[in-house]
Chains A and B, each alone.
Chain A
C-alpha cells in the first residue's frame, strides 16, 4: 500500500474562500503531481514537481498554485474558490523514469 496521504477527503466551502489541499508522502519520492478529475471524466495534470523548489504547470490550465518546500509535502492552494473549481483533486508521486505513480485517496471539493 502506497504511503501517500491527502487531506481533507471531502470539503464543501463557499465562493471566495481560500483553501489549501494537503498532500504528503513518506516514500521519499522526488516527483509529485496534482490531477483534477471531473465526474466521469479523465484525469488532467494541473501541477507537477520534480523536487524541492521545483514546480511546473501541467497540461490543464488551473487557477490554483502549489509549493514544494519539503520533499514529502506538496500542497495545492486556491486563493478564491469558485463553483467551477468543484471537482476531485488527486495527488500522486513517483521516483524514476518511467515509474509507476502512487496515488493518494483524493479530495472531493464542492464550492457553493
Chain B
C-alpha cells in the first residue's frame, strides 16, 4: 500500500461541474501539497497546507489531520482545468512523498 493514495485515478466531467479529488496518507506529516501537472509535464504548486482550508480562485483545498485526509475541490470547472492533480506529503525534512495523481478531463 502506497503511503499516499489518491482517488479517483481518472475523472471525466462536463464543464461547470463541481470536482472533488481525494488524498489519504498514512505517514505523519508537516504539510500536504496539491500540485497540478499539465500535459507538457510542467508542475505548478497549487496549495501547501497543514491544517484547515485554503481557497484560491475556484480551487479549494481542505485537510483533516486526525483522519489523514485531504480534498481538492474545483468549482465551476473549465476545460483548462484538465490536468493531472498530484497530492504530496512532507513527512518532515523537506522530502515529499507523492500520490500517483488524478487525471482530470473537463469536456466542454
Interface residue ranges, A against B (CB under 8 Å): 31, 33, 37, 40-45, 48, 50, 58-59, 88, 90, 92, 94, 97-106, 108
Is the CB–CB distance between A105 and B41 below 8 Å?
Answer: yes
Contact with A98, one of B31, B35, B40, B99 (Cβ below 8 angstroms)? B31
Q: CA A29 – CA B39 in complex, angstroms?
A: 27
Taken together as a complex, chains A and B put the C-alpha atoms of A100 and B30 apart, in Å, by: 12
Q: Smallest Cβ distance from B56 to chain A, in angstroms?
A: 12
Give which listed residue, A42, A102, A108, contacts B45 with CB less than 8 A.
A102
Which B residues lie at the A interface, using CB under 8 A?
A: 2, 30-31, 33, 35, 40-45, 48, 50, 86, 88, 90, 92-101
Determine the chain B residues whose CB is within 8 A of the CB of A103 once the complex forms: 35, 42-45
* Minimum CB–CB distance for B91 against chain A, Å: 10
Question: Closest residue of chain B to A10, judged by CB?
Answer: B41
- Asked if B40 contacts A42 (CB within 8 A), the reply is no
